[in-house]
Structure 1
Amino acid sequence: MLVACELILEELAKYLETFLIESNAHWLRLHFNRIYQKSFQNKNILKLQKWCNDILIKNPNKVFESEDFTSLQENALISLIERDDLQMEEVKIWNYIIKWGIAQNPGLSSNPEDWSDGNILALKSTLKNCLPLIRYFQMLGGDIYDHVKPYKKILEENLWDDLIKRYMTPDRPISSVVLPPRVILTQELPHRLTEPFSNVINEEHAAEIASWIDKKADTYSMTNNPYEFKLLLRGSKDGFTRDSFWDLCDNQKHLVIVIKVKDSDKILGGYNPVGWDKGFFDGYKICKELYFLIEKWCCTNFYFKSCKMYNRSDLLF
C-alpha cells in the first residue's frame, strides 16, 4: 500500500486501505504499533490513520505512555490532540505535549527556570502547531497554576493574560479562542458472551489480567476491558496432553494460560505475547512474560481475593 502511494496509484492504495480495515482488522490489531507509525508516514493514507486514532482516543495511554512516545511524528500527535473525543484530562495532554516538545530539542533542560530566551523560542517554535489545540480554558485553576504557569513564556502574551482574566474576573470578555471541552465517552462495551468463557477465571479476573498486561495503575472494569478472551483449549474437554496443547495453541500469540490448583482456591497463570512455536527449539523462546497468582481464602464467612503479579525478564518458556 505504501508503495502504491509512493507511485501515486491512488485508486489501488485506497482499495488496499479499505480491504485491510474491513477484512483484516484482526491482523491490523496484532501489528498495531507498526501500522500506526507507517500510516502517518504518508499523508494520503487517511482511512487507516483514522482507524488507528479511533482506537487510540479511547485508549490514549497506548501512545502517550509508550517508550517511544517522544519519537512520535508531529502529524500523528496533532491528529490525536485535535480530536474532540480524546479521552484524557487536558492537563495530562498539556504535560505530554511539553514532554514531547522538550525531547525534540536535544540538550534542553526539563527545568524551565534554566532556559535562555533562545531555548524558549526554540520550544515555542517546535510546539507552534500543538499549542493552539490545547483546551486551556477547560483546565482547573490549580492545573493552570501548577502545570501551565512554569511554561507561560511559550504562550502568546494575550493568551496568558486571558487565562488570568478568566479565572479572576470570569465575566469580562477575552480575545483568545476558547475551544469547547472534550467529549467524554460513557458508552460501555457490550457483553460479548452468553456463557462463561472459562471454568477457571471469570470476567473480573480477565479484566484484572488485561490491566496487568497493559501495565495500568487502575484496573479495567468488566465493562471497559478492551480485550476479548477467546477459549482455545479446555483441559477437561480437549485433554491435558502435550499433543492437544500444540494442536490448539501452536503459534497463537497473546496467549493467556490459567490453571486451577486441585483442592485449593489458587489459580496460576501466565501471559505470553509472542506465542509458542513447536518448530523452534521444541517450543522454547526468549521473551518477557507476565506471571500471576490469583488466590482466594475464607475469613469470617466472607471471601476475599488476593491477586499478585510477577514480571520475569528473559525467561525460557
Structure 2
Amino acid sequence: MTRAELDAVPSYVVNPIPERKINLSTNEVPFGPLPGVAEAVAAATAKVHRYPEMAATGLRDALAARYRVAPERLVTGAGSAALIEHLVRATAAGGGEVVHPWRSFEAYPMLIAGGGGRSVPVPCTPDHRHDLDAILAAVTPATRMILLCHPNNPTGVGLTGAELAAFLDAVPPHLVVAVDEAYREFVTDPALPDALVEHGHRPNVVVLRTFSKAWGLAGIRLGFLVASAEVATAVRKVVTPFSTNALAQAAGLAALRAEPEMLRRVGLVVSERDRLAKALSAWIDGIPAAQANCLWLPVGERAVELARACEERGVLVRPFAGEGVRVTVGTGEENDAFLAAIAEVLA
C-alpha cells in the first residue's frame, strides 16, 4: 500500500531526552529564546484560530532586507530540512538523482526519498571533507540536483572559497546545486565563503538557511531558501500551504530584531567550541577544525561504546556507529561536565 523504495530508507531517530541528562546530542544553542521571541509567540497565540498569512509576506520582506535579495527569490518553510524536501520535489520527483556527500546530515536520504528523488551518496575524503571531484564524477544524465552541506553536519568542516567556486563553475548549468548553510553563523574561518553572498547570483544555485541553530528557534521549525525567481516560484508551488505557521512568522520577526544578541551568543559558542577542541585533542587524534556548533570525534568502532559511557555519566552525545561521535557545544558548565566524563571514560 506504500512506495516500495521507502523500505530501504532509514528512519530519522532521535531518542527522548531525559531532563536529568545534559543534552549535547542535538545541534541546538543552549541559551533559551532570544529576547522578545517568547513574548511575540505568546501574542500570536491569540489568533491561532485563524490561518496564517500564507505568503509570510512580513517575514519574507524582513529576510529580503536582511540578506539583500529580492523578496520573490525567498521561500520560507518549516525548517530548512522541509525546504530541501520541497526542492527535491520541484527538481527530482519521479526518481531523479540527487548527489550528496556522505557522511553528512543523516536526514538527507529521507528528505530526498520523501521528495520522490533517488539518493546518490558520495563518500567524504579521509579528512572529512566533501570530495568534490567524486561528486562531479557521480553526475549522470539522471541527476537533477546536487546537495552540499557547508559547513558539514556532523563533521563541521566547510569548503574553501576556491573549492566552491571551481566546483560551481564545473557543474552543468541545468543542474540545481543546493548549498545547505544551516551553520553559517558559526563560521569564523575567513577561507570559508558565504555561499549566498558569493554565489547567490548564479541561476542554478540555491542557498538554504535555518532559524533552528544560531537563532534559537529549533522548537518552532522555521527556515528559508534563496534561489533564482524561477526556481523559487517552482518550489512555492509544492510547499505545503500555510506551512510557515503564524507562531513561526512572529518568532522569526522577533528573532531578526534581536540579531545583536544572537551574534553575542554565537561568540560564546565559538569560544567554547575552540576550548573543547583543544581539550579533546589531548585524548583523541584527528578532530577536524569545526566551523559549526559541534565537534566530530573520529573514534571509529568505539563510537557507540563512548556515547554509552558518556550517557552513564549524565551526558548525551550523538554516536554514528563505526564512524564517530558528534558533540554539540553547550554552556561552559555543560561542556565541563562532558570533559570530565570523557576524561574518565578514556582514562
Alignment TM class, shorter chain as reference? under 0.3
TM-score, normalised with respect to structure 2: 0.24
Q: Tell which structure's C-alpha radius of gyration is larger.
A: 1
| Higher RCO (C-alpha 8 Å, min separation 6) | 2
TM-score, normalised with respect to structure 1: 0.25
